[in-house]
Amino acid sequence: MIIMKFGGSSLANAERIRHVVDIIKMHIDEKPLIVASAMGDTTDNLLEAVDRALAGKVCIKDIRKLHLATAEELEVNPDVIKDLFDELKNLLSGIALIKEFSPRTRDYLVSFGERLSVRLIAGYLNRIGVEAKFFDAWDVGFTSNNDHNNGEILEESYAKIDETLGHLNSHYAFTPIITGFIAKNKNGNITTLGRGGSDLTASVLGAALRAREIQVWKDVDGILTTDPRIVSTARPVSNISFEEASELAYFGAKVLHPRSIIPAMCKKIPVRVKNSYNPTHPGTLILSMLDDSNEMLRVLTFKKKVTVVDIVSTRMLGQYGFLAKVFQIFDEHKVSVDMLATSEVSISLTLDNRENGLEGLEAALDKIANVTIKKGKTIVTMVGNVRRSSEILERTFEVLSASGINVQMISQGASKVNISFIVDDSEADTCIRELHRTFFEAA
């Protein structure tokens, strides 16, 4: 059994869906379970429909048009999706009426994208004689916590998924098409797993069903040496370890959802990132063990618009007491930290971009420290074999100082697969281009 996940870019229109179905048919002997995202930009279009509803106008013309045109072109009976349009329109009318849009309503609203796409894909497969069934993820056991917009899949889901789909391991009777990105919490409310969350759905399914491989089909030839939108010559990496993939996703590489690698890693299920536009390319294989190749770095990634907080102790708490107090304050304000550097009396750390909500944290920290908050920063992360860190850092400083870029804070992860540092947002693209040239393009 394999899991095949297709992202929005692979499912943009009827032609792309036909192409994806050809890829599925090529793998049919491997008993594929399909995870589908919403078609194209449907998730963004749904969010735009809310903006219109909040301004008093209920309109789903663009979403309806794309899905009905796709049904028509694929010769799928549109009745399979018509009820969803009515439900969506009612929801938007409700939002327009009460002018309120909570995180819970947001999850309910964006769930329509994936619910529409699985119905069309299954309809098309059946029409061409490949027996398929669509499932909303909660019907096969996906239960999440109550964290709307960024839900975590609960441990109990794994046994439930095995109970509902595990039989396909031995008696494969149809191709399941399962919604990515969505789940329900224990109260029965729809939740979502964070943008790009279909990758996580695929990983959870693969782990629950002990799949041979989890394939994540995108519009690029695998994980590339850096973001191709910054460096057009970025090239695919053939192998990468789970730890490395996890770090690069966490530190901003848009190619994988930040938490998607963990379930596969725990069960040691290989993950392959493939290109639906170039299916014969082998893509990137993510594995638990790699022979320690000579390559120093594998991928450069970055996370823009982060906030750096410098906290310098004003009292004589001693380092232990100071760190404990600082983290207690972060815990109380439910603010999580990405990157950290400390000395005896000071801590620098980074937080995700947030315009509001830092006042309480700042006020609490002010009681024990001098606090400086700096916005508009980028975390640049070098992922790979960074055991020879002094050599990497020497080259990094050399090339960045030649470009006049100031490195502001450095940290090396304990897993020895990443080095991160901070630069200004305005210098991020130049920094990535210069480092890519030095580490990946030099002869």
Choose the binding region for ligand ASP from 19-27, 131-139, 194-202, 419-427 (rule: CB under 6 A): 194-202
Nearest distance from C-beta of residue 391 to ligand ASP, angstroms: 37
Contacts of 101 (CB under 8 A, 6+ apart): 50, 54, 95
CA dist., res. 312 & res. 422, Å (int): 18
Binding site for ligand ADP (CB under 6 A): 7-10, 37, 196, 218-220, 223-224, 226-229, 253-255, 299
**Tokens 């939108």 found at:** 229
Choose the contact partner of 43 out of Mg ion, ligand ASP, ligand ADP, none; CB within 5 to 8 A by kind. ligand ASP
Choose the contact partner of 228 out of ligand ASP, Mg ion, ligand ADP, none; CB within 5 to 8 A by kind. ligand ADP
List the interface residues with ligand ASP, window 100-129 (CB under 6 A): 113
CA dist., res. 381 & res. 272, Å (int): 22
In 284-431, DSSP assigns E strands to 284-287, 297-313, 340-342, 346-351, 369-384, 410-412, 418-424
Choose the contact partner of 367 out of ligand ASP, Mg ion, ligand ADP, none; CB within 5 to 8 A by kind. none
Residue 380's nearest CA partner among 417, 343, 427 is 427
Nearest distance from C-beta of residue 80 to ligand ASP, angstroms: 19
Instruction: Kindly tell me which of 196 and 222 has the beta carbon lying closer to ligand ASP.
Output: 196
Residue 337's nearest CA partner among 384, 380, 379, 383 is 379
Choose the contact partner of 220 out of ligand ASP, ligand ADP, Mg ion, none; CB within 5 to 8 A by kind. ligand ADP
Backbone angles phi, psi at 261, to 5 degrees: -80, -25
CA dist., res. 162 & res. 186, Å (int): 19
Instruction: Kindly tell me which of 193 and 383 has the beta carbon lying closer to ligand ASP.
Output: 193
Instruction: Kindly tell me which of 39 and 309 has the beta carbon lying closer to ligand ADP.
Output: 39
Nearest distance from C-beta of residue 145 to ligand ADP, angstroms: 23
Nearest distance from C-beta of residue 385 to ligand ASP, angstroms: 30
Report the 3 state secondary structure along 113-181.
HHHHHHHHHHHHHHHCCCCEEEECHHHHCCEECCCCCCCCECCHHHHHHHHHHHHHHCCCCCEEEEECC
Instruction: Kindly tell me which of 224 and 361 has the beta carbon lying closer to ligand ADP.
Output: 224
Check: CB of residue 35 under 8 Å from CB of residue 6.
yes
Q: Supply 30's token pair.
A: 């491997």
Q: Is 274 exposed, middle or buried (0-12, 13-18, 19+ CB in 10 A)?
A: buried
Choose the contact partner of 197 out of Mg ion, ligand ASP, ligand ADP, none; CB within 5 to 8 A by kind. ligand ASP
Check: CB of residue 178 under 8 Å from CB of residue 118.
yes
Choose the contact partner of 38 out of ligand ADP, ligand ASP, Mg ion, none; CB within 5 to 8 A by kind. ligand ASP
Residue 248's nearest CA partner among 443, 60, 380 is 380
Instruction: Kindly tell me which of 32 and 40 has the beta carbon lying closer to ligand ASP.
Output: 40
Q: Longest Cα pair distance anywhere in the chain, in angstroms?
A: 74
List the interface residues with ligand ASP, window 40-69 (CB under 6 A): 43
Instruction: Kindly tell me which of 119 and 298 has the beta carbon lying closer to ligand ADP.
Output: 298
Instruction: Kindly tell me which of 219 and 434 has the beta carbon lying closer to ligand ASP.
Output: 219
Which residue of the chain is nearest ligand ADP when measured via CB?
7
Nearest distance from C-beta of residue 19 to ligand ASP, angstroms: 18
Question: Which member of 195, 304, 374, 433 binds ligand ASP (CB under 6 A)?
Answer: 195
Bridge partners of 214?
3, 271
Nearest distance from C-beta of residue 151 to ligand ASP, angstroms: 12
Q: Using the 8-state DSSP alphabet, how is residue 257 labeled?
A: -
Residue 303's nearest CA partner among 203, 357, 384, 226 is 226
Nearest distance from C-beta of residue 298 to ligand ASP, angstroms: 23
Question: Which member of 1, 2, 3, 8 binds ligand ASP (CB under 6 A)?
Answer: 8
Question: Which member of 32, 40, 151, 197 binds ligand ASP (CB under 6 A)?
Answer: 197
Nearest distance from C-beta of residue 39 to ligand ASP, angstroms: 9
Torsion sign (Cα): 349, 354, 355, 358? negative
Phi-psi region of 208 (alpha: psi -120 to 50; beta: other; left: phi over 0): alpha
Nearest distance from C-beta of residue 301 to ligand ADP, angstroms: 6
Q: What Rg do the C-alpha atoms of the chain give, in angstroms?
A: 23
Question: Which member of 37, 126, 144, 275 binds ligand ASP (CB under 6 A)?
Answer: 37
Question: Which member of 112, 124, 181, 250 binds ligand ASP (CB under 6 A)?
Answer: 181
Bridge partners of 440?
none
Q: Using the 8-state DSSP alphabet, how is residue 29 labeled?
A: G
Residues that bind ligand ASP (CB under 6 A): 7-8, 37-38, 43, 113, 180-181, 195-198
